[in-house]
Amino acid sequence: MLPTITPNWPVLNHIYAYTTTRQGGISTAPYDSLNLGDHVGDISESVKQNREILYQALSLPNEPIWLTQIHSNKVIDGANHTDRQGDGCFSHHPNVVCAILTADCLPILICNRQGDKIAAIHGGWRGLASGIIKNAIEKLATPAEELLVWLGPAIGAHAFEVGNEVREVFINQDKENHIAFTYIDNTHWLADIYQLAQLQLRKLGIQAIYGGEYCTVRDSDLFYSYRRDGLKTGRMATLIWYT
């Protein structure tokens, strides 16, 4: 059985969603063991085998839409994609597996209550600052009260140290964002990426928000972390589809 995290949110039974952990694959240190990122320096054959393990363990209906993530606000249509460069994937069709890769950034899953519109977002601070959540919601073309959101494993508020320039980007967008930053010294702050996402979601009219209890930096047994381990670390996948 592949170790995964299943979102705790009230979706219909034909919605499937998971976040992988770093456990259950064949990659060797420092990518041990279920690294699903093919851009981080791991042996390509190991990544290929890990993706096959994922495919079989979750009984995926199709190969996931693996994106080339660029810390943008671009969201692609998983059912009609010619370009996979972007940081979000949405679908209005069954059996399309939207997927994003993370190792501290915030994975965000969205679906409607009817269970026929879904999205997966790679929520790094740059993507959040440039409006990727709003872009994804617009692609779903659904009233905000009909949407459910799950926030997957990301860097915790105690570990995400940023400079003044990052805080200023968010404060200039919305003064209320100041509550997501905790003062360290004149040039450094702790940022709560979960809270930044929640503030944006609520401003967009979404109240049904779940998840947000993990920290990828703190839990080295379960999660990869770029902030903790640097360049030589793997990636978890967060996936969503419906049948």
Amino acid at 84: R
Token pair of 65 as six digits:
């839409």
Beta-sheet strand order (sheet of 236-242): 4-5, 15-20, 236-242, 98-102
pLDDT digits (tens, 9 = 90+) for 41-62: 999 999 999 999 999 999 999 9
Q: Where are the beta strands (DSSP E) in the chain?
A: 4-5, 15-20, 75-77, 88-91, 98-102, 106-112, 118-123, 147-151, 161-163, 181-185, 188-191, 209-211, 236-242
> How far is 69 from 85, CA to CA, in rounded Å?
6
Within 8 A by CB and 6+ apart from 161, the residues are: 184, 188, 189, 190, 191
What is the model's pLDDT at position 82?
Answer: 84
Q: What is the pTM of this model?
A: 0.97
| Total count of residues recorded for the chain | 243
Can you name the CATH fold of 9-242? Answer: CNF1/YfiH-like putative cysteine hydrolases (3.60.140)
Would you write out the chain's pLDDT as a tens digit for each of its 243 residues? Answer: 899 999 999 999 999 999 999 999 999 999 999 999 999 999 999 999 999 999 999 999 999 999 999 999 999 999 887 889 999 999 999 999 999 999 999 999 999 999 999 999 999 999 999 999 999 999 999 999 999 999 999 999 999 999 999 999 999 999 999 999 999 999 999 999 999 999 999 999 999 999 999 999 999 999 999 999 999 999 999 999 999
Q: What percent of the chain has pLDDT over 70?
A: 100
Three-class secondary structure of residue 193 per DSSP? helix
pLDDT digits (tens, 9 = 90+) for 7-23: 999 999 999 999 999 99
pLDDT digits (tens, 9 = 90+) for 146-159: 999 999 999 999 99
